[in-house]
Structure 1
């Protein structure tokens, strides 16, 4: 094996990034070295670049939606072999907080996020903790496997864990891009009906209908709330997901909830929405939840759903670019060129 590899490196002091030659990392105790096959480009990667997310390290390799094969086992690793096809979790427990000390690693109080607190996978190789790995079924392509670690698992966590969507509940999704698309698909999988997609882009709205939404409305429509009422027979929404994270989408979603409805805020931005009067909030019993991420075991659940044909994410891979063209992929996502669900890099 060579001593160096190509990797994207983001420099916090200048906000600049580029492809550099860096040493191939060595796996420590309990870790594995992964030969990266594919890694997605996510809006949170862009948020680090534009300063929306805090810059935790002076220099870091970005990319947190990865798949690949194990190239080397670190000391003490058992249950895995070189050549295994795997997905690394996009975060790791701190191991020192009160929850980690009692073994509740999924509830770590200071979770370290991949590509922010430690190096990610826009690189030829990536070091990951062995306990956070998920094995990829033989019939699941590695390009689809890569996006399970965030682009699909975060929506899964939002729908199943935070939103607790039940069979027959009415669901609305604001922003049907990389996250919202999978919220639509997963809400349908758990039995929500009807599912209403809301987006500014007519192409994206049509795609949402093809992938499982029952209705698709323009977020700029002044009669949006009326149309939601008609589509739900006056019930309005039991659960609304804001996958865009904008002031306008948050407030629209909140307005379209029925009595006791739940708003799940998934998308992120620096904008500050309002919730109206406390009297209106109390009388309507509406609830607002913030959502982030997933549990590592969720990736395995999703991998099995894909493997068994219950969840089709084949259309979610919009484009695959070589690592050297990472800047092109970032620009396309930022400017919605081709309305991508997920653009991947292939080191």
Structure 2
């Protein structure tokens, strides 16, 4: 099979031929149809977070969707021909970034085939494309977990989204559909209309401007330090701030306001297979369509270079390995 393999920061990605994988007990082989490209892989390639890898050389890529083509001994809930996504964060019990997760501790999605434990498979309805399912495994999952699990979103809440990139736009849409009153802060005015299309009531350029809306929850998808500090100023007393983005690794915050406003500041990373399944439900209902841009499998390396340069604002790059001709019924709706 063809695969993009990472050996070192000096060599980057190389397209090579590897033996087709064989499933072990409790495992399946998935013929990949779509693989999402993530900024985490940019960080691995440029040396920023290379230490998270379990070994090298390794096939990167942790946003995977395809068709089961072989099953190992003991597999009881998956069959050849099943349309599945693979959880980007393992089975949900092994920590936030376990050393067995796809594209980190074992070979990943930048390949024609990959092996996955049965416990990490998430069924894809016939009305959801492989492209959307692959994006759901990370961009969708991370947004859902931040807003609904760590943020505790409920219908009727006033929510602020900081950063309208791929994750922020996806999270904003899910919050709107779930009955929240959503506002956003985004420094790039070109992106503002995309937020409004998804039901955001108002988009401002400065996080501090969110103070006008008496927000119960702010989810910071940017994480540039100043955004975190401004969220503490802007949120109502008793509110909660969820930190997702890591634009900078450190922040100076006003601990006086944190204490005197009786605030919660919590962190989040990734999510669980159950979170991904919920995102796929949003997509299947027609209420959500993750903004994506498709590329060919031979463009994985150049696509990651584009991400490194910041050249794909507000969209998730997804490499398509084969045309998705199994979709039944109308294309999913929602706003891109």
Aligned mates of 1:92, 1:65 — CA distance in 2: 12
Q: Is the 8 A contact 1:13 1:58 kept in 2?
A: no
1:162 pairs, out of 119, 143, 150, with: 150
TM-score (structure 1 length as normaliser): 0.86
- 1:178 — aligned with what? 166
| Match status 1:203 vs 2:181 | no
Q: Is the 8 A contact 1:333 1:340 kept in 2?
A: no
- 1:49 — aligned with what? 45
Give the C-alpha shift of residue 306 in structure 1. Answer: 2.0
Give the C-alpha shift of residue 110 in structure 1. Answer: 6.9
Give the C-alpha shift of residue 208 in structure 1. Answer: 0.9
- 2:250 — aligned with what? 272
- 2:333 — aligned with what? none
- 2:109 — aligned with what? 121
Give the C-alpha shift of residue 338 in structure 1. Answer: 4.8
Report the CA distance shift for 1:245/1:50 in structure 2 as closer, same or farther (over 3 A). Answer: farther
Aligned mates of 2:3, 2:305 — CA distance in 1: 18
| Match status 1:11 vs 2:2 | no
Of Structure 1 and Structure 2, which has the larger fraction of its residues in strand?
Answer: 1
Aligned to 2:114, the other structure's residue is in SS state: strand
Aligned to 1:179, the other structure's residue is in SS state: helix
1:228 pairs, out of 175, 199, 210, with: 210
Give the C-alpha shift of residue 107 in structure 1. Answer: 6.1
- 1:132 — aligned with what? 120
1:298-318 Cα shifts (integer Å, max 9, x gaps)? 222222232222x221x512x
TM-score (structure 2 length as normaliser): 0.88
Give the C-alpha shift of residue 15 in structure 1. Answer: 5.8
Q: How many residues align?
A: 318
Give the C-alpha shift of residue 179 in structure 1. Answer: 0.8
- 1:153 — aligned with what? 141
2:90 pairs, out of 89, 92, 98, with: 92
Q: Is the 8 A contact 1:15 1:50 kept in 2?
A: no
- 1:249 — aligned with what? 227
Report the CA distance shift for 1:114/1:197 in structure 2 as closer, same or farther (over 3 A). Answer: same
Aligned mates of 2:118, 2:127 — CA distance in 1: 22
Unaligned ranges ≥5, structure 1: 94-104
Report the CA distance shift for 1:110/1:206 in structure 2 as closer, same or farther (over 3 A). Answer: closer
Give the C-alpha shift of residue 109 in structure 1. Answer: 7.6
- 1:214 — aligned with what? 201
1:305 pairs, out of 282, 300, 304, with: 282
Deviates more, 1:289-298 or 1:10-19: 10-19
Report the CA distance shift for 1:142/1:110 in structure 2 as closer, same or farther (over 3 A). Answer: closer
